[in-house]
Structure 1
Amino acid sequence: MDASAGETAVPRSSRHQEAADLKATLKHLRTEPRGWVFSLKLALCATLTGAGVALALQSVLWCRIVGVVLIGAMFAHAAELQHETLHNLAYRNRRANTVSGIVLGLPMLISFAAYRATHMRHHRDLGTPLNREFFDYGDQYGAKGDRSRLAVGFDWAVRFSMAHHYAFFVANLGRSLLGRDFPDENAVVSGRIRRDHLLAVVVIAGLGALTWWTGSAVILWVWLLPLLLVAAPAHAVIELPEHYRCETLDKDPFANTRTIRSNRITMWFTNGNNYHVEHHLMPNLPIERLPVLHAEVRDRIRYFHSGYLDFFAKLLRK
């Protein structure tokens, strides 16, 4: 079960205070970011992406298909690596986090500055009606009531295509090209968001130029197909369990967030996103320390699954 009856009887305010008190006792787990670890993550991601590109540009169809899947998977993985840079946990140097974060977000058209600003507010506001997330999936947390199968199917299609995100990117690109500031952001952050969007345009234009120069569909095989067919649904799958059908109006991270304990490959692919309760409990804890924190708090977690298959199997049964 996701939650125990004993825990639901504890008042929300008491549980929130207990989480705060527990957090204070776990300060000894904090360590400095280890840049060399993140550099290895980047190198592996880049290597696998390069292998995918090499396969996708072959004339043999099965090679192209494998290449598209590999590239798309690495695009989604890069978005999870970018999450680490948002919290300045990849490197000790803030500029190094920013530069790597900007690059990691480009394949999926994720503005580092916009994502960071929204994500920091998400950590602050989760548990309140003010909470908003950067990636909008429509029925974000599964709060909609009984609906027709057609409506539910449409909701899932929107989520796994990440249609809202790409519409949001286009709208923000238009604002960037006009030199306008962004709602809820100051002039400095707005300038950084414009920078990210204009840089994405430059990269896309470069891929378009390469496609024209080579006379082959480079932009299709190494970006569009991996993005739309693999990266978008993969990223949506990774993010879905985080707070879906949790108590998102409760400020206690043990109530508003879900953890999934999985194997090492999945933890690498999601970059520790599966330990999401732990991340919200101590957002400044380096990613590789989350399993250590998990061992300390496992018995307190209300929404817990032994793996992603377990989570989705139970979700489908509901």
Structure 2
Amino acid sequence: MLTPDDVDPWAKPPKPPLPRKELKALQRRRNAPALRYVVGHLLIAAVTATLIALSWGTWWMLPTMFAHGITLVFLFAPMHECTHGTAFRTRWMNSTFATFCGAVLMRPALYFRYRHAAHHSYTQDPERDPDQVAMPEGLAEYLGEVFGMEFWPKMIGTLYRGVTGRFNEREKTFLPESERSRIIWEARLMVGFYAALAAASVVFSFWIGVLAFWIVPRIIAEPTLRLVRMAEHTGMEEGADPLTNTRTTLSNPVVRFLYWQMPYHAEHHMAPSVPFHNLRALHQALPGKPEEREYVISKGYVRAHRDIVANLGNGAGSTVPTTTALAATAGR
């Protein structure tokens, strides 16, 4: 707990060690890259949906629904980027696509915008970061995180409190009073839409389609997103420095595309105003080779989780060994 005499380490986080002109060029927002990603992401979703239809009534439905679910849960990435206001240059495009993605994910986009702003302002602060990630105390807790044992109740609770307007004390710290009525109506419209869709699907007998193409894939693929998101901060230091509280995970082009370049997560926290399509360029522009940099770079999600699991049982406040141990195997 900070006292009035303390200097808040989160008040002024460090910036990327780049010349101002170079950083400003990377901060330039454009519509075209996001439009390409949107079209590509939705085309992949259309392909996986078609595979569900082609495999209807066979055991192949299970893997195709899982694959389709991955495309759905990874809509979290564009929602995240749009709530930053950096996916598109045009403001209404950001708000419209964020709302669409939020509806698919059952996560109110406006609420997320303010919650996520607090996460960036106070990353890994146990008291002020609403998404602070503590190190799991054991394998059971780790698996619980992977399979969303806390995520699903939290998501349902967020919708309930949004509909009723009964925000908890932590939410009141990051939801501006001036915006709470909009956040309440956002949640009510979302729940109203879901209720209307459920009723219509029963009356007009397309409820199986809703389950097969949306609800079931959305649920069974969530662990893939949990694994990716856990790698960002799990086992990182509870401090204000993005060099030590956030992990970059090098991955393949498919993951980078579906996750809208967010595997470069330390870079994102160093400079949240840099659009997703320039994060790789920011990563490459930083001084020194990756293995020489003073922040954690894991070579793939398997490596990141192997390091996390290897350090389970060290206590909730423990961290995964940083910099030299992990960065030594990193590469571009």
TM-score bracket, normalised by the shorter chain, equals 0.7 to 0.9
Query: Which of the residues 119, 138, 141 maps onto 1:122?
Result: 119
Tell me, yes or no, if the aligned pair for 2:135 and 2:234 is still in contact at 8 Å: yes
Tell me the TM-score normalised to structure 2 length: 0.78
Aligned residues: 292
Matched, 1:112 2:109: yes
Letter in 2 for 1:309: V
Change (3 A) 1:156 1:203: farther
Equivalent pair of 1:207/1:218 in contact (CA under 8 Å): no
Structure 1 residue corresponding to 2:176, chosen from 156, 168, 186: 186
Shift of 1:111: 1.2
Q: Is the 8 A contact 2:251 2:299 kept in 1?
A: yes
Structure 1 partner of 2:270? 281
Q: 2: CA distance between counterparts of 1:219 and 1:18?
A: 45
Residue among 209, 214, 231 paired with 1:241: 231
State the match for 2:82 in structure 1. 85
Alignment of 1:1-318 (within 5 A): 19-20=14-15, 22=17, 25=20, 26-58=22-54, 59-126=56-123, 128-134=125-131, 140-142=133-135, 144=137, 152-153=139-140, 155-180=141-166, 183-184=172-173, 185-208=175-198, 209-214=200-205, 217-230=208-221, 232-249=222-239, 251-297=240-286, 298=290, 299-318=292-311
TM-score relative to the length of structure 1: 0.81
Distance verdict in 2 for CA 1:177–1:161, change over 3 Å? same
Unaligned 5+ segments in structure 2 are: 1-7, 312-332
Q: For 1:218 and 1:244, how far apart are their aligned partners in 2? A: 36
Q: Is the 8 A contact 1:254 1:300 kept in 2?
A: no
Unaligned runs of 5+ in 1: 1-12
SS of 1:309 mapped into structure 2: helix
- The residue type equivalent to 2:26 in the other structure is R
Note the C-alpha offset of 1:260. Answer: 1.2
Q: Do the aligned residues in 1 keep the contact of 2:165 with 2:184 (CA within 8 Å)?
A: yes
What do the CA deviations read for 1:157-179 (whole angstroms, capped 9, x no partner)?
43123243332333333334335
Runs of 4 or more, structure 1, over 6 Å off, are none
